[in-house]
Amino acid sequence: MTQQKRQKRAISGWIILNKPYDVTSTQAVGKIKWLYSAKKGGHAGTLDPLATGILPIALGEATKTVPHVQDGVKIYEFDLKWGSTTTTDDVEGEVTATSDVRPTKDQLEAVLPQFTGVITQVPPAFSAIKINGERAYDLARAGEKVDVPPREVEIDAFELIAHGQDLSTFRVTCQKGTYVRALARDIAESLGSKGHVSRLHRAAVGPFTDDDAVTINEIEALELHERDAALRPLNDAVGHLPEVALDDRQAQLVRMGNPALLIGRNAPIALDEAYATYKGEMVALGFVEKGQFKPSRVIVAS
């Protein structure tokens, strides 16, 4: 007797996963989708398999809000292992060079301002960046020489948390597109040494932090109705945008993709970006022009 196929559900919301070590972001999304029997899911920014920490996973209609999380500020905590560089700039790769130079705490703190603000970095060869339509890591694994073009990234804050003879711990706040492995490599090089990332943890992505995170084991321990209750609302992803509260008639218009005239003394006249709600639930993403809310992405009611 064959097992009955699981029925997929049109369920929507966010799970802020504390991704475990040695699990890919794609595998993590697949596991969460399976646990929720969700029809659709995705994540807001790839996290290296050997990294742990915040992987925001969007189910159903929450996938429409992914860019607002993905483009948010990131916070990473990482250990820099002194003495060697690797092909991957982390512990997974083969050692390519070594050095006996070990910088002092004062030397490290003195160089950090050079890596704060808008800087130029060359992402690791083992990265998801596309070169001539192919992922850099696929080319690197195939043994090809990979020349990844430099890019500008923005580092908001860089702090040395602890320093020892062979290991230093940092906390970095940065914008989208920053490669921590490249930061570690370049800091070591700037001090005449070699180094690579031996531990990487993402502590925040956009509005979500470690305090919001749950583990796969914690979700597995819940009954299905409890899992549903653990989902975070779509609104949590767009709290940085102005909220436009609609009445019943306005919500009906917007749900059909039509603009809705906003009335009242405090109704906005123009907003570049906003989200509309009806009785607290998100109805659409859009903007306000000439006193009308105009939807760009309508949220299908569950």
Q: Quick one: which of 114, 122, 190 has its CA closest to 155?
A: 114
Tokens at 133, concatenated: 């339509």
Which among 22, 48, 156, 210 is annotated as catalytic? 48
How confident is the prediction along the chain (302 residues), in pLDDT tens digits per residue? 445 567 899 999 999 999 999 999 999 999 999 999 999 999 998 898 899 999 999 999 999 999 999 999 999 999 999 999 999 999 988 999 999 999 999 999 999 999 999 999 988 876 667 766 667 666 667 666 777 788 999 999 999 999 999 999 999 999 999 999 999 999 999 999 999 999 999 999 999 999 999 999 999 999 988 999 999 999 999 999 999 999 999 999 999 999 999 998 889 999 999 999 999 999 999 999 999 999 999 999 86
Tokens at 144, concatenated: 């090809």
- Rounded Cα–Cα distance for residues 30 and 37 (Å): 10
In order of start, what are the domains of the chain with their CATH numbers? 13-72+208-236 (3.30.2350.10), 74-205 (3.30.2350.10), 241-298 (2.30.130.10)
Active site residue 100: no
Helices (H), the chain: 25-36, 66-70, 105-111, 136-141, 180-190, 216-220, 224-230, 248-255
pTM of the model: 0.91
